Structure 1
């Protein structure tokens, strides 16, 4: 039997009797235990421990949402472990999917992205303009209004004499076409 079985069991049973303080103490103790376990599992899987708190919160939410489903005639810790295991597995899958497309940059690299010389800005503006000119006039106007000038969808729709929905469809088609043009230019 786990050393946590009796105190955690008492905390959850006290919650059923309306003792919010005991339930809060259970959640605090359980969360501390989960933080250590989840951080260790994520490190072992070569994922960062930064995401551990998100996983712990998902576990706590699941336990809270399902607390009425626990059968008081059965041990509590295996029930908690099952919830924690499944939530951790889900989170690891999600984190691995996200990590595939993530690029980790240093602070200096991030700041260099946003600092451009004036000639660099003009060059990028020419690049964007050379892409946009391949679009039909209506799509050009939508892309310029929203993506370049920063107008909201509503403002751009009003300015172009269309509805927000139609503008969104136009933007979607424009961006899809621009992405295809960029891919062709890269030889992909």
Structure 2
């Protein structure tokens, strides 16, 4: 959730006043900023208690770093970077902690052979024979782009064609392959 212009101006005004010693402005800043964080983080962190923990971490970081804020610069990027660092810290910890969780599989679980996920409806021989029927230019371009994983720019430099020519030729080759493989 982005900071609205009105909210950004209000927060900046309160934060600058707080840095000049206004406790009331600082309390108001924390209240408004906390509400913004709650709305902003509800779609990123679903557990409410963890959400509150992250909000507290953000507020503590803002408090500890408030002396580094330059009042001549906008507040929004400064706040967004703190929010981003704290949320990323949380997510890093969350995924690290949950990486080794396993899910029990029923002992009677059986994979049916007919549903083999490695099986395809199109054999590689069909694809290779369809590619062999393309003209030489199309074959070269597809070979460089997909087997050698070269970009359009690299292929155009290698073969001496324009980038748009490479794109058009590749597109036409795909179209031909789709038609031949569908049959």
TM-score by length of 2: 0.50
> Which protein has the larger Cα radius of gyration, Structure 1 or Structure 2?
2
Task: Return the structure number with greater helix share.
Answer: 1
